[in-house]
Amino acid sequence: MNDQHFNLVILGGSVITPSGREKTDVGIRNGRIAEIGNLSRTAAAERFDAAGLHVLPGVIDTQVHFREPGLEHKEDLESGTRGAVKGGVTAIFEMPNTSPNTDSAEALADKVSRAVGRTWCDFAFFVGATNENAETLRDLERRPGCSGVKVFMGSSTGSLLVADDGKLRDVLANGSRRVAIHAEDEDRLRERRVLLDRNAGPVQHPHLRDEESAVRATRRILALARETSRRIHVLHVSTAEELPLLAANKDIATLEATPQHLTLSAPECYERLDAFGQMNPPIRDDRHRQALWQAIEAGIVDLVGSDHAPHTREEKERPYPESPSGVPGVQTLVPVLLDHVNAGRLSLERFVDLTSAGPNRIFGIANKGRIAVGYDADFTIVDLKAQRTITNAWIESKSKWTPFDGMAVTGWPVATIIRGKTVMREDALLSDPTGRPVRFQECLIEG
C-alpha cells in the first residue's frame, strides 16, 4: 500500500455507529474499517470530505427481483445493481423466480457465475422451495452466494408455488437458516377469482387478493414454523391484521415492510397509476398503511426491503388481470425512506436499523450492517437537506419507470462506498462492477 496509512479516509461526517451519532472520521484499509476517530492528520491515499453529510452503514436491500436468467428484457444483474448503487444500496438479496427458477445447485451456481464481474454491489441469491426439492434445501442454503430459502405460498409472478401444508412442513423441516415467506393463501386467491370484473381494472386488485388471503397464510405458516421449530421471515406485510399475529411470535418470526406499502394507499394509487401501482400483495387502503407505521414505531417491523420487481411499460399496459404484478424499487428505497425521516415518521437511527442492522441481525450476515472496526467498509452517504424530485429519467432499471415518478423528496444518497471503493458519487457511477457474494455467519465453516 505504498507509504499511505489508509486507503481512504471519510472526514467530518455525522457517522451513525452502534454507539450513536457523532461527528467523526472513518479510516479504511484493505476494504475494511480500520479506525474511527480524529484522522484529519493521518496519511491516506484518498480523502472524502463528508462535512454536512451523514455517513450510514451500507444499505442492504434483502428483496429484489433482477429477472436474470430468462427475463432479461425486464432487468438483468448488471442493470439492477447499477440502479442499486445509484440509489445508495451496497448489497442485495435476489429472488429465485427467474426462468429457469433458482431451485437447484446448478441454477444457484449459474447465478453466482453470472454476477461475478457484472454486479455493481455485493449480492446473494435465495433458492426457491418447490414441491419436489425439500430434501435438497438443507444443502442448498449453505452453498456460496445463497441468502436462504424463499417460499411462495400463493401464486405470484413466476411458477414457484408451495401451497400445501404437508409440503410446507417438509420445506421447513429441512434446514436451519431463516426462511423467507410470500404469505398469500392460494386456496383463498382461487376462491376470489370468480369476483373478477374485467372492466374494473387494477382498482379491484386489493379486493381480489384481499386481507384474508394474507392473514390466512400468515396464520398457517406461523403454526407450521412453531411445529417445526424453524425461523421464518414474512415478506412485504400489507395488512393491519397480520401485525399482532407476527408480534406475538417474534421468537420465530420476523417481518418486512416495503416503501410502497408505507407510502402509497388505495384506491388513489390505482386511480393515478393504473397497473403501474399493481403488486403482490396489493397496496391497500390507508388503514393498513397507518398500521404499518405504528408497527415501525413499536419495533415490530424488522426491516424494509424494496421488493424491486420490474416489468416493461408494454407489459404493464395490458388489460387487468393480464398486467403483471410488481414495481421497480431498489433505486428509490433510500430517497423515499429519507423523505419519511425528514417528515418525522422515522428517525435516522431507525432507518439504519431497518436497512442495515436489521438485515445483519435477521439473516446472520458476516461483516456487514454496521460502522465498526473490522467490518466491511460499506457506506451509504446521504445529504438529508437535499431536495430532489424522483423521475423516470433518473431510473437505471431497464423498465425505465417508477411509481414514485414526480415525487419531491428531502434527503438523497450522494455516495455509495463498497468495501472501501467509491462506486457512486453525486449520481455518477465510478470504476467498474466489482460485486462479490455476501457471506453469512452460519456458512463460514470451510468445507
Q: Which one, of 8, 5, 84, lies nearest residue 377 by Cα?
A: 8
Q: How crowded is residue 344: how many other Cβ atoms within 10 Å of its Cβ?
A: 7
Supply 49's cell numbers: 470530505
Residue 8 φ/ψ region, left for φ over 0, alpha for ψ in the -120 to 50 degree band, beta for the rest: beta
Q: How crowded is residue 118: how many other Cβ atoms within 10 Å of its Cβ?
A: 19
Which residue bears the cell 398500521? 291
Contacts of 96 (CB under 8 A, 6+ apart): 102, 103, 107, 125, 126, 127, 128, 150, 160
For residue 278, report the phi and psi dihedrals to the nearest 5 degrees. Answer: -90, 125
d(CA 438, CA 366): 8
Residue pair 283/261 in contact by the 8 Å Cβ criterion: yes
Q: Which of 76, 103, 302, 307 is catalytic?
A: 307
Angle at the Cα of 330 from the Cα atoms of 58 and 413, rounded to 5 degrees: 50
CA 431, distance to chain mean position in Å, is 24
Supply 29's cell numbers: 484499509
Which residue bears the cell 472520521? 25
- The reply to whether omega before 100 is within 30° of 0 (cis) is yes
Supply 447's cell numbers: 468445507
Supply 210's cell numbers: 384481499
CA 46, distance to chain mean position in Å, is 31
For residue 287, report the phi and psi dihedrals to the nearest 5 degrees. Answer: -60, -40
Strand partners, 246: none
Catalytic residue check, 49: no
Q: Which one, of 400, 370, 348, 394, lies nearest residue 90 by Cα?
A: 370
Contacts of 59 (CB under 8 A, 6+ apart): 88, 89, 90, 333, 334, 355, 356, 380
Active site residues: 307
